[in-house]
Structure 1
Amino acid sequence: MGAKRWMGLAAAGVVATPLALGIGLVLLVAAVAEDDSKGRSVGTWPTAGALRIGGRDGVPAEYAQLIIDAAARCDQGLPPAILAAQIWAESAFNPRAVSYSDPPANTRPLARGISQFIAGTWESEGIDGDGDGDRDVWDPKDAIPSQGSMMCKLLRTAKGHPEYSGSPIEKALAGYNAGWGRVEQFKGVPPVSFAQGQTYNYVKAIMAQSAKYTASGGGGGPVQLPAGFELPPDTPPQVRTAVAWALAQKDGWYQLGGDCTNALGPNPRHWCDCSSLMQQAYKAAGITIPRVTFDQINLPLQVGLDSPKPGDLVFNAGSDGSAASPGHVGMYIGSGLLIESPRTGVRTRIVPYSSWRNSTNYMTRATGIRRVVAW
């Protein structure tokens, strides 16, 4: 937005203007409570343990626990990697960062600290994160918990507006950046035509950076792709592992409620159903996703039905669901193919994605795609 000039992010090519931290801030509307009748729990993407810490590509170690703790306090499913990427976009992890108003009055500080709060919003949203009796915007021990608290409120509000475009995480980020009033105005993330695309690019950059802050490894470790099967060269290592692991389960029998820990073994309890195949594939890549389709559909990265990439989760209504609460999920593996654990009596198999995309039966037609790792 033209109202501010931001320090510390020019090298990264990201301009962060958290209008939600002051200008035009509207009161958060009460969120509609989520329906828990199906046991939903979407606070598992990614896990705290999946946060990449230290090194050239990780979150600075001195702030990692503050980020993990701030995310854990939120009961709305706020991923620590999102908070970390947001700090990267706001201040590049500089606790002394200052942003200024545009010329000619560019000597007037506007936002301050690692999470870039302005004075008015700090007054209402700042908390004493370390319990030392003060609220110091320059202290990451106060600023990061305050950022997490504000994002949690925005996420709760965003979930109360499923009719708005974008995932709840994306809408919350847009609200933090441009003010929730702008999200209401545009019925979702403001478009690229708004403010030279500043908010749109802010959200896009954070979603992409959050994938970089999600650690790979863990679970069963990397799995080799079958001979003759290739993925695009830029496929993230986590996706490469998840796809390879899923492919290794091909021809295993289906078992409703099976945990998919030994798909080719003799015990039906360890065979796969559709959603446990997805969960275990990403567990092999070090990323925890929810167990059932009703929760997996709430992963934050939504993808158009004509734009799948390898590793994407593809949903259809199935015989017992809907677009919002799907009954079946498969994984797009590239080359126009999808792997699924379909139903009792049928082995895990590879089918053309077109058979889902173009199905004339609402139960088998693709109704949604979620990307676990942005790329």
Structure 2
Amino acid sequence: MKVLIGAVAAAVGLVVLALLTVVGVLISDDDASATESTSASGGLKGVPAEFREWILKADGACKEQGMTPALLAAQLWQESKFKTSKKEATSSAGAQGPAQFLPSTFATWGRDDDGNGEISLWDIGDAVMAQGRMMCSLLRQAKSSGYQDDVRRLALAGYNAGWGRVQQYKGVPDEDFAGGETFNYVQLIMSTMPRFQGPSLFEVSGSGSAAAALRKAVGRIGTPYAWGGGGPQGPSKGFCDGTNGYLNGKCMASSTVGFDCSALVQYAFWPKQKLPRTASAQYGATSDRPVSRAKLKPGDLLFWSRGGSGSIYHVAIYAGDGNVVQAPRTGKNVEVAPLTSAMPERDYYGATRP
């Protein structure tokens, strides 16, 4: 069901449409200077659960506009049909694993992303993150190449045949190259992407600082939470401090590229408004402009505390219609959530207008 989000500030001309049951982002730009192209620009559906987390992480780690979860998912489908066994995911050419890497290529892009102590092209996390890194690099090359084609098509051709072949053909190799393998690979993935593209969650239009900040924040939906991670330039690896950043006793923040709650807010408003880094400091910087719950407008900041202004532990951005955009906690991703359940209701402290 499509819901029109109310309480919209006329001064910023902000209109937000929400689909409350899906995850994804559609960004429309009425003011190019107020928007930023982001990698988390689409939803994701039809993907096995064990792949979904890693596809979203790989997408969130890449700032290239052409990168989307659906692109990575369609590529994985073409490469291996999400198969992970050696029998089903080994090609006659020696490519291996769900992302079909040659061992020599994986040596360049592979990391121990799943933290199991082994760098393996058979591990879903290691393989998908390596795929994302390689595709991100190819998208950058495609963008700077000047070739007159979709950067996604060029990157896919580079993944399949090597960037040297893209340079040789000044684009996607013709059908006569390698029996049409690369040409068909690109065509099939581009045509399969809609199968994995989830419905849009938000459409944000308008100009002004509130619209720009909300647009940037929703553009990062699906980016992982990383305690201490992120900042004005985007997501980054976080750290564990003895209490925070852990999941099931394991430090996740130090190996996760993402945002914590206040970093997402700082990123969203930067550089038009250079908010400080922590939730408590952000409250201190804006507390002279309090907003009652009944008068919230999109772009307002909301805070949760366990005991006064000195114990604020969470901040989110109001998105309208009773919803917030937030980076919730370790193990979760940037999301839209109802204000009433984003954090414990008893901890809600108040709101400010940046």
Q: What TM-score comes out, normalization by structure 1 length?
A: 0.43
Give 1 or 2: higher helix fraction. Answer: 2
Q: Greater strand percent: which structure?
A: 2
Instruction: Choose between structure 1 and 2 for higher RCO, CA contacts under 8 A separated by at least 6 residues.
Output: 2
